[in-house]
Chain A
Amino acid sequence: QKEVEQDPGPLSVPEGAIVSLNCTYSNSAFQYFMWYRQYSRKGPELLMYTYSSGNKEDGRFTAQVDKSSKYISLFIRDSQPSDSATYLCAMRVGGGSYIPTFGRGTSLIVHP
């Protein structure tokens, strides 16, 4: 079992839909949780960053962490064709370790 599991998709939705992207993990020591967005032929860019459990909202994006279930989610409201990209979850332990473990990424396609 990989340390971080993420369904590769592709996930295809119509414009305006609510999108839910998810990752599960096995290492209970993870404390920092990130979502990166990667457009085709570009580098990953940090989208959301959360420490420990709870929700964080930024515009149309909401990141949710459930440490008891070892499950994190990214919700995109009112999805747009410009949201079409690969979304990678990443997570790391604290205590001076700065090396994240990445999921494989989920390919999202938002069609007009």
Chain B
Amino acid sequence: DAGVIQSPRHEVTEMGQEVTLRCKLISGHNSLFWYRQTMMRGLELLIYFNNNVPIDDSGMPEDRFSAKMPNASFSTLKIQPSEPRDSAVYFCASRSTLAGGDNEQFFGPGTRLTVL
């Protein structure tokens, strides 16, 4: 069974450009989390979906960031316009809240974003 899939793995872009990060959940999981990791701030939760519904987006830094779940197994995180301070590794993680499901989060390999 495949784990969480993220694309692209690396993204280098220029300030002001739109960036779209993608995530595919583990089959059967119904919760999705987007995180950002930097040396300075560690792992920060950006947004959390349960059954396609955003539950907590208090970690989204500002209006330039938006996240969607167009279906039960796929999510996008968009930054528009991007800024150099958005440079970080972005992880998504999935989890099952259904009876008998795994209790904790499983992380994808991350997208390393560099904004010049």
**Residue from A41, A45, A104 within 8 A of B107 (CB atoms):** A45
**Residue from A34, A41, A99, A104 within 8 A of B45 (CB atoms):** A99
**Min C-beta distance of B22 to chain A, whole Å:** 15
- Tell me if A42 and B109 are in contact (CB < 8 A): yes
- Tell me if A44 and B107 are in contact (CB < 8 A): yes
**Residue from A32, A43, A88, A98 within 8 A of B109 (CB atoms):** A43
Q: Chain A, 79-91, contact with B by CB distance < 8 Å: what is the 0/1 string?
A: 0000000001000
- Tell me if B91 and A43 are in contact (CB < 8 A): yes
* B17 at the A interface (CB under 8 A): no
A-B contact count (CB 8 A): 43
Which one of B60-68, B73-81, B97-105 contacts A?
B97-105
* B95 at the A interface (CB under 8 A): yes
**Min C-beta distance of A103 to chain B, whole Å:** 7
* B56 at the A interface (CB under 8 A): yes
Chain A positions within 8 Å of B107 at CB level: 36, 43-45
Using A44-B91, A100-B104 as known contacts, list a sample of 7 further A-B pairs with CB atoms less than 8 Å apart, ordered by residue number in A.
A32-B103, A43-B109, A43-B110, A46-B105, A99-B33, A99-B56, A105-B42
Q: Identify the B interface with A (CB < 8 A).
A: 4, 31, 33, 42-43, 45, 48, 50, 56, 91, 93, 95, 97, 103-110, 112
Listed A/B pairs (26) with beta-carbon separation below 8 Å: A32-B104, A41-B110, A41-B112, A43-B91, A43-B93, A43-B108, A43-B109, A43-B110, A44-B43, A44-B91, A45-B106, A45-B107, A46-B105, A46-B106, A49-B103, A49-B104, A98-B31, A98-B48, A98-B50, A98-B95, A99-B33, A99-B45, A100-B104, A100-B105, A104-B42, A105-B43
